[in-house]
Structure 1
Amino acid sequence: MAAKILMVLSAGISFTLGVVHLVYTFWGPLLTPRDPALQISMSQIAPVLTKETTMWRCWVGFNVSHSMGLILFGLVFGFLALAHGQLLFHSPFLLVVGLAMLGGFVVLCKVYFFSAPLRGIIISLACYVASIALSRASIMRS
């Protein structure tokens, strides 16, 4: 039971970070440049890859897809923990995929972001790892 609670907590943190990030992407100034001229410039300049978009549209798209990844992780792992705990906790594949995803988010936050999302993802990762450890301990006792 404790393993499920920790997994749901991990998933809930990731989900919440994703929703907050999505809200910040579309509403308010928090993910816009401090210099309005930069946003104007980004809205007028295409990346080298293609002229079909602008750097600003890429910026928004990257933020939305990042949010969607966090939300998807939270929904899938939260659902699996609550509705299919046996499947989740007995599947090395699912556990490694989740671990890799959260580990990847930690690296992204450390290299490209700032301390608040890093702390949130580290807490989510710690809950995830503790959840796995508790589930493994309970499997060993059985």
Structure 2
Amino acid sequence: MLEQILLVAGALVFGVLGLIHLIYTFAGSAFVPRDAATRAAMEATSPRLTRETTIWRAWIGFNASHSLGAIVFAVFVLLLAAGHMPLLREAPVFAWVAAINALAWLWLARRYWFRVPFIGLLLASLCFLIAALRLSF
């Protein structure tokens, strides 16, 4: 029972952070550079990879896909925890995949992002790690 609660809690953190990130990507100015000249440069410049997009459009796309990845991950973990706990008890590797994924995101948050996602991902990582350990032993 505790393992299920921990998996759901960790998944909810990912889902909420992903949803907030998706909303911020398309609504408001949270991801708009403070310097207007930076946005103008991003809108006027394409990456070396292709001229079919701009750095600004790629930035929006990366943020949106990043959000969707977190949301889809959360949904999968929620579905496993809600309806397939016997499978997780027989094959805790799925809980370990969630824990390792969360730890990878935690590293990214520490290295590249800021405090709020780091704290959320730290909580989610702890939930997944404890659940994986409990399911394994």
Say whether the fold is shared (TM-score over 0.5). yes
The corresponding residue for 2:4 is 4
Residue ranges of structure 2 left out of the alignment (5+ in a row): none
Which residue number in structure 1 is paired with residue 109 of structure 2?
109
Pairwise CA distance, 1:92:
4.0
Question: What is residue 45 of structure 1 aligned with on the other side?
Answer: 45
Deviating above 3 A after TM superposition, structure 1's stretches of 4 or more consecutive aligned residues are none
Provide the TM-score with structure 2 as the length reference: 0.94
Q: Which runs of 5+ in 1 are unaligned?
A: 138-142
Q: Secondary structure at the match of 1:28?
A: coil
Q: Secondary structure at the match of 1:30?
A: coil
- Give the conservation status (yes or no) of the 8 Å contact 1:43–1:55: yes
Higher mean displacement: 85-94 or 119-128:
85-94
Match of 2:133 in 1: 133
Q: Is the 8 A contact 1:106 1:118 kept in 2?
A: yes
Q: Once the two structures are superposed, what CA deviation does each residue of 1:106-142 show, in whole Å capped at 9, x if it has no partner?
A: 11111110111001001000011111223334xxxxx
Corresponding residue pairs, total: 137
Rounded to whole Å, the distance in 1 between the matches of 2:121 and 2:32 is 22
CA distance in 1 between partners of 2:4 and 2:113 (Å): 29
Other structure's SS at 2:51 match: coil
Q: How far apart, in 2, do the equivalents of 1:93 and 1:5 lie?
A: 18
CA distance in 1, matches of 2:87, 2:55: 42
- Which residue of structure 1 lines up, in the alignment, with residue 98 of structure 2? 98
| Paired residues of 2:24 and 2:30 also in contact (CA < 8 A) | yes
Question: How many percent identity over aligned positions?
Answer: 36
Structure-2 residue corresponding to 1:78: 78
Partner secondary structure for residue 22 of structure 1: helix
How far apart, in 1, do the equivalents of 2:34 and 2:46 lie?
Answer: 21
**In the aligned structure 1, how far is the partner of 2:44 from the partner of 2:37?**
11
The separation in 1 between residues aligned to 2:90 and 2:46, in whole angstroms, is: 47
Residues in 2 aligned to 1:73 and 1:34: alpha-carbon distance in whole angstroms:
31
The alpha-carbon distance between structure 1 residues 24 and 113, as it changes in their structure 2 partners (threshold 3 A), is same
Q: Distance in 1 between matches of 2:96 and 2:118?
A: 20
